[in-house]
């Protein structure tokens, strides 16, 4: 009986298999009411759902507008977020990586986290982490073609603000039992290394700031931090700047890993309607090159799609003239998405020495055409694709 009990314990569903791949989804939190910055810029009650609703077909066969199956819900409502958590966990997603914003005058788009996720009754079912989206926040909601978008909040922060960021993270998030860790350390990612460098003026000063951030975590009783950087080969948003030598910079800053946010950071879209598999194959070639580029682990990405036309002013002709007037990705069916996941899974399983982590763009980038939340055309099929490849997540 004791041997049987031991065997059952070894194969218990609560014990992750040795080949378990952690699946994280980026989460962009601009689909709720009441954000002070949004209300100042756009008026009371505004959220990015307004751009989703206003989107129109811009060329023959263009699939717009996208209509959410769950309706235009407020993600800062803990009951709404609880449903997202349940569906994510039930379909094999392990974590949300929130696009997290903090400017010189404080946080932005934090309500889905503070009022939604952290107050959801079931937040123990899903891990969460932050990718500091430290890029310039510009007025592109929507953007008029041919105009220079207004800079609303610069991504560059002062060293004093960076210290406040660290204190805020440690006090309010990093010690939460659902905060995602890699090798036991809370995961924290930077979107734009160039802006981080601008904040301190030199590599040496930036590394010293990161060391202080790690020290804050240790002082709070944590084993340290797993610091990650999003890397990309080509900018997308206006104002983005690629470092001259990203692999060297990653080493000099002492970062623990690198990753990607979306395929088109590495793959150009040569046609107005660029085939999904073309982009997939080009990205996988880039992924293969990361083994030689970076001395730290690279966490790969699978992207669901791309169509930024909802952020383009619908009165303007839609031509490939720069974000958000960009070529699109088409034929990104749930079946093709599932195949991309299968390919990523196999390559990760072939890795013998590095963490098996995959991120997906995105849980809800509705205005960039990359989302897993169900719509009225495909229903739950993108989430079902994840479950078919990676299995069901943990129970409550």
pLDDT digits (tens, 9 = 90+) for 347-361: 999 988 889 999 999
State the pLDDT at residue 14.
37
Residue 112 Cα distances to 77, 79, 259, 361, angstroms: 8, 11, 24, 18
As a whole number of angstroms, the distance between CA 82 and CA 121 comes to 7
| Mean pLDDT of the 214-228 span | 98
State the pLDDT at residue 19.
65
3-class secondary-structure state, position 168: helix
Q: What is the pTM of this model?
A: 0.94
**CA 64 to centroid of chain Cα atoms:** 23
In the predicted model, what is the mean pLDDT of the chain?
94
State the pLDDT at residue 187.
98
Residue 393 pLDDT grade (very low, low, confident, very high; cuts 50, 70, 90): low
Work out the number of other CB atoms within 10 angstroms of the CB of residue 297: 19
pLDDT digits (tens, 9 = 90+) for 313-324: 999 999 999 999
Based on the number of CB atoms within 10 Å of its own CB, is 99 exposed (0-12), middle (13-18) or buried (19 or more)?
buried
Bin 385: left if φ > 0, else alpha if -120 < ψ < 50, else beta.
alpha
Query: Which tokens in the block code for residue 140?
Result: 């592109």
Kindly tell me if the per-residue pLDDT of 260 is higher than 50: yes
Q: Are 206 and 251 in contact (CB under 8 A)?
A: no
State the pLDDT at residue 346.
97
- Stated as kind and residue range, the H or E segment containing 95 is strand 95-103
3-class secondary-structure state, position 183: coil
Q: Are 358 and 348 in contact (CB under 8 A)?
A: yes
As a whole number of angstroms, the distance between CA 227 and CA 249 comes to 13
Q: Are 48 and 119 in contact (CB under 8 A)?
A: no
pLDDT digits (tens, 9 = 90+) for 270-304: 999 999 999 999 999 999 999 999 999 999 999 99
State the pLDDT at residue 237.
85
Tell me 309's DSSP state: G
Kindly tell me if the per-residue pLDDT of 117 is higher than 60: yes
Query: Which tokens in the block code for residue 379?
Result: 């229903």
pLDDT digits (tens, 9 = 90+) for 155-174: 999 999 999 999 999 999 99
CATH entry, 24-390, from 3.40.50.970, 3.90.870.10, 1.10.730.10, 3.20.20.80 = 3.20.20.80
State the pLDDT at residue 274.
98
3-class secondary-structure state, position 326: coil
Residue 242 pLDDT grade (very low, low, confident, very high; cuts 50, 70, 90): confident
Q: What angle do CA 385, 390, 394 make, to 5 degrees?
A: 110
State the pLDDT at residue 238.
84
Residue 239 Cα distances to 104, 132, 171, 236, 290, angstroms: 18, 16, 32, 9, 25
Residue 13 pLDDT grade (very low, low, confident, very high; cuts 50, 70, 90): very low
Share of the chain above pLDDT 90, in %: 90
- Stated as kind and residue range, the H or E segment containing 293 is helix 276-293
pLDDT digits (tens, 9 = 90+) for 58-80: 999 999 999 999 999 999 999 99
As a whole number of angstroms, the distance between CA 193 and CA 190 comes to 7
Give 202-227 as a DSSP string: SHHHHHHHHHHHHHHHHHTT----EE
State the pLDDT at residue 394.
54
Tell me 245's DSSP state: T
């Amino acid at each position: 009986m004791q041997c049987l009990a031991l065997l059952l314990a070894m194969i218990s569903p609560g014990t992750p298999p040795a080949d378990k791949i952690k699946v994280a989804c980026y989460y962009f939190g601009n689909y709720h009411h009441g954000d002070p910055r949004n209300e100042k810029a756009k008026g009371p009650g505004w959220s990015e759902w307004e751009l989703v609703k206003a989107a129109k077909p811009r060329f023959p066969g263009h699939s717009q507008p996208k209509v959410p199956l769950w309706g235009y819900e407020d993600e800062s409502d803990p009951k709404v977020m609880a449903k997202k958590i349940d569906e994510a966990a039930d379909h094999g997603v392990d974590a949300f990586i929130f696009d997290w914003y903090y400017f010189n005058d404080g946080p932005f788009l934090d309500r889905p986290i503070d009022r939604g996720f952290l107050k959801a009754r079931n937040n123990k079912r899903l891990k969460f982490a932050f990718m500091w989206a430290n890029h310039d926040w510009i007025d592109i909601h929507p953007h008029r073609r041919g105009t220079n978008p207004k800079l609303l909040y610069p991504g560059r922060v002062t060293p004093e603000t960076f210290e406040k960021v660290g204190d805020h993270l440690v006090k309010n998030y990093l010690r939460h039992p659902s905060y995602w860790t890699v090798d036991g350390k809370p995961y924290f990612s930077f979107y734009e290394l160039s802006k981080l460098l601008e904040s301190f003026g030199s590599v040496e000063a930036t590394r010293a700031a990161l060391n202080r951030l790690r020290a804050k975590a240790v002082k709070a009783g944590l084993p340290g931090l797993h610091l990650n950087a999003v890397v990309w080969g080509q900018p997308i948003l206006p104002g983005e700047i690629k470092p001259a030598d990203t692999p060297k910079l990653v080493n000099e800053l002492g970062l623990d890993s690198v990753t990607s946010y979306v395929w088109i950071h590495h793959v150009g879209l040569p046609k107005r309607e660029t085939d999904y598999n073309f982009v997939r194959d080009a990205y996988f070639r880039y992924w293969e090159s990361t083994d030689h580029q970076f001395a730290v682990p690279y966490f790969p990405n699978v992207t669901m799609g791309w169509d930024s036309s909802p952020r383009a002013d619908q009165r303007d002709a839609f031509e490939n003239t720069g974000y958000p007037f960009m070529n699109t990705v088409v034929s990104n069916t749930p079946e093709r998405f599932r195949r991309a996941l299968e390919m990523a899974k196999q390559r990760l399983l072939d890795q013998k020495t590095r963490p098996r982590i995959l991120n997906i763009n995105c849980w809800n980038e509705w205005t960039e055409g990359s989302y897993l939340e169900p719509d009225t055309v495909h229903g739950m099929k993108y989430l079902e694709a994840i479950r078919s490849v990676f299995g069901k997540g943990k129970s409550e």
